[in-house]
Each structure stands twice: as C-alpha cells, then as structure tokens.
Homo-oligomer: A and B are copies of this chain.
Amino acid sequence: MTEQHTALGLQDSTEVLYRISARLAERFAGVFAAETVERYVFESYTSLARTARISTHLPATTEHFANDRLSALATSRDPAPSEVPEVLFVCVRNAGRSQMAAALLTVEAKGRIRVRSAGSMPAAELDPAVIAAMSEMGLDLSASYPKPLTDDVVRASDVVITMGCGDSCPIYPGKHYEDWDLADPAQQSLKAVRAVRDEIHDHVRALVASLLDKPAPSTEGTSS
C-alpha cells in the first residue's frame, strides 16, 4: 500500500517555479510583495496543471499566465483610468469561442484595446478545428492555452463578454457586461467552426466600433 508512484502525475517543477517567481518579483518590484508574486506563480501552475493535457510547456505557460494575471491586478489597482479599454472574453472551456474572440479583437483593435480570455471550466487544450479555422486567417493560436477565470482579470476589465458560461463570472460594479449567444464549436466540423468564427468576427467589429468610435459618453452607440 505504501509504494511510491513515481510515474504518476507531473514532475516536480519546484525549482523552476522559484526561478520564475524571482524573475516576476523583480519585474513587479514596488508593485507587489515577493510573497504575493510567488503565490501567484505556484497557484497559476497548479491551476493549469489540473486541467492541461500536456505538461511539457507548463512552466513557460505558467510564467506567461502569472505575468498576465499580475499585470491585470496592477491595472485594477491603478486609480487612473486605463488608456485603452480592457476587454475580457469568458466561455466555459476557453478552448474555442473566447479564444477566437480574443484573437479577432486583437487583430481588429490594432493595439487600441487590451484583450484577455478565460474559461469557467478550462479544457485540456484548444480545439484543433478552432486552431485550423483561425490559421486560415493567418492567426496562429498554437501557443494559446485554456486558463481558468480569475479575480484579477475580471477586476482589470472594463468590458466582460460571456459566451455560454452562465453564472460563473463574478459581477463587479463599474464594468460593462454582455452575453453573446453563439454556438459552441466544441466537437464541430471545420465548416461549422468557420461559421462561428465569422459570427464572432461580426460581433467583434461592432464591439470595436462601440468602444473606439463613440465620440463622447453618450448612449447612442453603434449597434450591431
């Protein structure tokens, strides 16, 4: 009963995680305590490890995810209004809809909007048909990864757009919430995914117009 299961689970990445923590603590020096940064790194690692299928790139992905979360937290604490609108897409698996929406908004916004995505129950990896459909447009999502919805990214956002994830996103004051009603591309054919992609693209163009083209805080916006 007391055999060590060496083949079970992930390899020990403790040393790598401490090195990542040191790098990020330096980057966020004066903003966050080293203790906070280290907790972010280790918990980001475990939250990705819980659901990721392949653990090879997990330390690199952890560094990216923790850095993004700490940046979001720093943004949310900055009392000055953000220079660019911050948009968060949330779906269940962060493997299809929210990933396509984030990539398409990044293209359409051309640096004028900060874009993030997350999932309420992140999948093990992006749907292959989603990667293929985006690749047809020249957008490479092969380095993207499903990640759980966290408090920091919701808090940093001006606009939160949900896509079929129900009540799983905390509601904070001062944010604009929208729900986009879209088909789920999971397990769908490439043809079906293309249709979802193009529908998201239409939504995204309208969002860009509403966020960037409105001349003043009037209630008359561009409507889709």
Chain A residues proximal to chain B, CB less than 8 Å: 1-5, 8-14, 32-33, 35-36, 39-40, 42-43, 45-47, 49-51, 55, 73, 120-121, 148-152, 154-155, 162, 166-173, 176-179, 206-207, 210, 221-224
Contact = CB atoms under 8 A, between A and B. Distances in A.
A8 B12 CA distance: 40
15 contacts: A1-B223, A2-B221, A5-B179, A8-B167, A8-B169, A9-B166, A9-B177, A12-B173, A43-B152, A45-B170, A46-B150, A50-B121, A50-B148, A55-B167, A121-B121
B4 A50 contact: no
A75 to B, nearest CB: 15
A39 B196 CA distance: 36
Contact of A12 (B73, B172, B178, B206): B172
A43 B151 CA distance: 5
B8 A46 contact: no
B13 A170 contact: yes
A49 to B, nearest CB: 5
Contacts of A55: 167
A210 B171 contact: no
B169 A10 contact: yes
Contacts of A121: 50-51, 121
B223 A167 contact: no
Nearest to A159: B2
A43 B162 CA distance: 19
Given A151-B43, A167-B55, A178-B1, A172 B210 contact: no
A14 to B, nearest CB: 6
Contacts of A221: 1-2
A188 to B, nearest CB: 22
Given A1-B224, A35-B33, A169-B9, A46 B149 contact: yes
Contacts of A224: 1
A221 B14 CA distance: 30
A32 to B, nearest CB: 7
A223 to B, nearest CB: 5
Nearest to A53: B167
